[in-house]
Chains A and B, each alone.
Chain A
Amino acid sequence: MSEVEWAGMRVDAATAETLPSWADTVAYLRSGRAPSAVAALRAARDTGRPIVQPRCGVGDHGDMLRLLHRLREAGPGMLTVTIDSYTRLRQFDRAARALREAPADLNGYPLVAHGWRRGRELIEAVDVPVEIRHGSPDPRELFAVSLAAGAGSFEGGGIGYNLPYCKDVPLRTSMECWREVDALCGRLAAAGVTVDRELFGTLTAVLMPPSISLAVTLLEARAAAAEGVRCLSIAYPQGGEIHQDVAALRCIRLLAGRYLPAGVEVHPVLHEFMGVFPRRRDTADALILYGGVTALLGGASKVINKTRQEGYGIPDADANADGIRTALLGTSDLLDVVRIDEDRVGEETHWLLREVTELVEPVLAEPDLPAAVAGAFAGGRLDVPFSASVHARSWVVPARDARGAIRYRRTGRLPFSTGTLHRNATELGPERPTADLVESVTADINYFLRRDHAPA
């Protein structure tokens, strides 16, 4: 692919030819014809009630429009266009061919193949903001088309959209691509257009220790803020132990206050449980409701709902609409009576802040952030469990403690202090000497699936 510049961002020439001018793009973003994501997040923050957002994306344009209308009826505060795998990996020709031959086979909406005019049609079709969610290590063409389409919210980052989504893209490469995206957001901010940039703290989605999620999104947030990004949604994945999850959500603002420049607005986001989901409808619904309550108590601006069909594959529209409603119920005043042990939340908060500080300080002390991040992952000083990428070591092994909170069974080479290691070991308690490691980890992964068979 040959590259050209579009508003200072390098994109492939074939995609650039299809784009409107930068002036037209800015004028459209300013026109207010698309509902504002930033305004929706601020309203949620000010009322203390998280908005709910589903994931949704299908190949065919008409089907996508119908899906957005259908889900809008369930009351989400934001909607999504989830992008297909081909487009995520910049295989635009393959996406276009699939769109012509078998759109139903696509696992998302191929926005680059459809083009920005159809994108505007989607975004104007509903009266709530629409976010572009995907999983691209190099999202530059997709971002250009998204902006031209009028999308005011764009998910991803150089770490979170690399390690879970591809095998062999160097972190410095993905971070440089995302630097260009963030720089363009900075340029838009200077022109009076605030784009919401959401960071994917879910990472590899299975038993993610909270301090790893918070450390990674904090490093991405620092990189984004340095390029002039003014609004960040920082997402954290529900682990399933509410005191730990509420502490993690509250840590997002605390860490932002410590490490991000003043004037960068930060919105905590909860991803409802991303791991192995229960398959029974009642169990799944209970977990979806529980996610809503967790988001409410944690002070999230937004919660991404799950559905009762999660254990089976991509949900249909009915299940997704029900999922939105169930999560909304969890965030409603009906559940305002719920109280949790604030002392425990305080203790979790204290240790989480300490763990994150120990993970990020050595990286932030180096002059070149992308190089420091790549080096830390190469040496295991930053790490994620179950990485799909060869650029993370996955020496860390997570474990649930007796209450279900996610701890470290093995910390690999994470630079934790003796105090942190001691506290983690204390919370975890002694491992049964006979326990088979793989069986223990598998049982922790299947923590909520097991509830399908809980005694009545």
Chain B
Amino acid sequence: MGTRQRTVILGVAHSDAHAVANHLIAMQLREHGFDVVNLGVCTPLTDFADALDAHPDAEAVIVGSLNGHAYADLADLPRLRDAGRLARPLILGGNLTVGSHKTDEGYRRLRALGVDHLLDDPHELPLLLDLIHAAGTRGRTREAVSAHV
């Protein structure tokens, strides 16, 4: 085919040590043919930025958060983006807020930080990545690819 392998950067948010889901998602994306740069558990946002600098061909940054601390763990996103870093679609998935009642407000706050896509179901990742890819943006996209909120 001669097509270059598509690369994504994957990791778990800084305060979160959930390894199993992270390994399963990496496995799933590799099954779909992606080259996955997996940064693993407890990854500070700056490490995601460093990984993107090292892999500038990566088409998205995927952050998992299962412990409800996503907002605090992503608090530095606006500052990094202002400095020109993490200039790719950022997908956040998992249990994104504490408690069993998910509110639009919690999601709105995450989007205000600059999160581009919110996902509850990791199975939708390959589809979402394909849609982002098809949109052909190398930078960030705010296209309403999917309304999972």
Contact = CB atoms under 8 A, between A and B. Distances in A.
Interface of A: 167, 204, 206, 385-388, 390, 394, 397, 437-438, 441-442, 445
Given A386-B19, A388-B17, A388-B19, A441 B41 contact: no
Contacts of A387: 19, 23
Nearest to A389: B40
9 contacts: A167-B42, A386-B19, A386-B20, A387-B19, A394-B23, A437-B27, A438-B27, A438-B28, A442-B24
Interface string B1-39: 000000000000000010110011101100100000000
Contacts of B123: 438
B41 A437 contact: no
A167 B23 contact: no
A257 B111 CA distance: 60
Nearest to A167: B42
Contacts, number: 34
A445 B21 CA distance: 11
Interface string B111-125: 000000000001100
A171 to B, nearest CB: 16
Contacts of A438: 24-25, 27-28, 31, 122-123
A445 B20 contact: yes
Contact of A167 (B24, B31, B40, B122): B40
B60 to A, nearest CB: 18
Nearest first, the 5 A-B pairs at minimum CB distance are: A438-B28, A388-B19, A386-B20, A386-B23, A167-B42
Contacts of B19: 204, 386-388
A90 B67 CA distance: 23
A437 B19 CA distance: 17
A337 B105 CA distance: 59
Contact of A206 (B20, B28, B41, B42): B20
A420 to B, nearest CB: 23
A213 B28 CA distance: 25
Given A437-B28, A437-B31, A438-B31, A385 B40 contact: no
B49 to A, nearest CB: 18
Given A387-B19, A445-B20, A167 B28 contact: no
A167 B27 contact: no
B38 to A, nearest CB: 9
A176 to B, nearest CB: 23
B125 to A, nearest CB: 10
Contacts of B40: 167, 388, 390
A386 B38 CA distance: 12
Contact of A397 (B17, B25, B27): B27
B45 to A, nearest CB: 15
Contact of A441 (B17, B27, B42, B122): B27
Nearest to B28: A438
B124 to A, nearest CB: 12
Nearest to B25: A438
A397 B40 CA distance: 17
Contacts of B23: 385-387, 394
